[in-house]
Amino acid sequence: MNHVYDLLGNGKKAFFELSRTDRFMHAFWLLGPFFLLIERTPGDVYVSIVALTFLVRSLITRDGAWLKFFWVKSVFIFWGICLLSAIMSQAPSYAFGEALIWIRFPLFAMATAFWLGVDKRLLLLMFFSTASAILLMCGILAAELAIEGFKSRLSWPYDDLVPGNYLAKVGLPVIVFSTTLFLSLKGAKSILSGGFCLLAIGMTMMTGERINFLIVLFAALLTVFVWETSWIKRFSYMILVSVIPISVLAIFPSVFDRFLVSFLDQLPLYKGSPYYDAMAPAWLIFEQFPTLGIGAGNFRYLCADLIQPGLGYPCYNHPHNFYLQILSETGFLGFIFAVIFIVSIIVKCLGARATNRHVLYSVAWVIPFALFWPIRSSADFFGQWNNIFLWSAVALALAVAHSKSRNV
């Protein structure tokens, strides 16, 4: 506990060293993970304010140094292709609006990495705030279980079935780093860190959100493999991390059915499976519009007109895979630069590991690697909820990477 108090004390000191404006914005950021517990509109307002304030601040102070980084340049090139694709599409007004405002999410990450998270002492406060919000979410879900009993899906505190999305994305940085702390510390500190990680993984599973559960489990197991050098310890810790999921499967038959039986039936391995049929229209649309696609967000509006009814494929709001959606909505050009900016973010975070084995720097790359893993179903790439959660996690990973590069 003394170590926690020391971290908070150092963070408090750094906080009051800031200018009044920076102090206000940093406090605003620290409240952000709690805003995201309310509803998507407060969350979007929070992300947008941070992004716009960063832009205005950069213009006023004439600070454009952050524009020199390759991942930043590739994000803006991808954004430009999205805008061009929208202008050239069959439904330009909606697509242009979706493409135009999408940039607020990467800008939020840039604000965190190049402004609010530059001082490592303040960055640790950000992790503490996020961890506190994750514990609150776990408490809310525990209350739902206690009051309403076990269900195959949990939805508190939202109207949507997205609490697992919150845990798996907003919570991923602290899950990854708590796993590393569990492996590197001893005694009560190690137990507390491991307990936090298992609690978050278990609660994500209890939400019934299969892909989000796989994201946190994959990230935790990969962290064990990356951090621990002994093969015996690797497999021992991997088994330990898997205890909670295996226990939940054994205790709750409905979870077993949802996560194994029905999940295997839905894998996109053959025509007629739900996810294959959801994803297939995206490839067919890409074949018709290979260069620039049909415009950001237009899949939901144009799919039914572009896919022959006789093929038997349903048209949803999005094709449930980031990369197929990017191909269909921004074409091959957009896909190339999307892959470039995603890989460049992972590489930037991986670069921190190359020169520092500190728990923050060594595993930061696991976060974007797990979130952008291509072979899985995913939410709407241009969607509001998904991006608010996803870029919150990517922002912290990038802040870690850049705090190392600035020797903070």
Contact 85, 105 (CB under 8 A): no
**Tens digits of per-residue pLDDT, 203-226?**
999 898 889 999 999 999 999 999
Does residue 115 carry a pLDDT above 80? yes
Q: Which helix (H) or strand (E) holds 361?
A: helix 359-362
According to the model, what pLDDT value does residue 269 have? 63
Rounded to an integer, the average pLDDT of 117-141 is: 94
According to the model, what pLDDT value does residue 2 have? 47
Does residue 383 carry a pLDDT above 90? yes
Quickly count: other Cβ atoms within 10 Å of residue 3's Cβ: 9
According to the model, what pLDDT value does residue 274 have? 85
Higher pLDDT, 407 or 219: 219
Least reliable range by pLDDT among 2-11, 71-80, 325-334: 2-11
C-alpha 132/C-alpha 129 separation (Å) is 5
Quickly count: other Cβ atoms within 10 Å of residue 15's Cβ: 17
Higher pLDDT, 292 or 351: 292
**Tens digits of per-residue pLDDT, 151-187?**
778 888 887 778 999 999 999 999 999 999 999 889 9
Does residue 336 carry a pLDDT above 60? yes
Tally the C-alpha atoms within 13 A of residue 205's C-alpha that lie toward its C-beta.
27
Does residue 1 carry a pLDDT above 50? no
Closest CA to 382 of 391, 369, 371, 374: 391
According to the model, what pLDDT value does residue 408 have? 37
Amino acid letter at 313?
A: Y
CA angle in degrees (0–180, nearest 5) for 202-395-95: 100
**Tens digits of per-residue pLDDT, 51-63?**
999 999 999 999 9
Rounded to an integer, the average pLDDT of 130-135 is: 97
**Tens digits of per-residue pLDDT, 266-305?**
666 667 788 899 999 999 999 999 999 999 999 999 999 9
**Percentage of the residues of the chain whose pLDDT score is greater than 90:** 70
**Tens digits of per-residue pLDDT, 302-316?**
999 999 887 889 999
**Tens digits of per-residue pLDDT, 357-369?**
677 788 999 999 9
Amino acid letter at 285?
A: I
Residue spans per domain, the chain: 2-405
Amino acid letter at 182?
A: F
Whether the upstream peptide bond of residue 173 has omega within 30° of 0, thus cis, is no
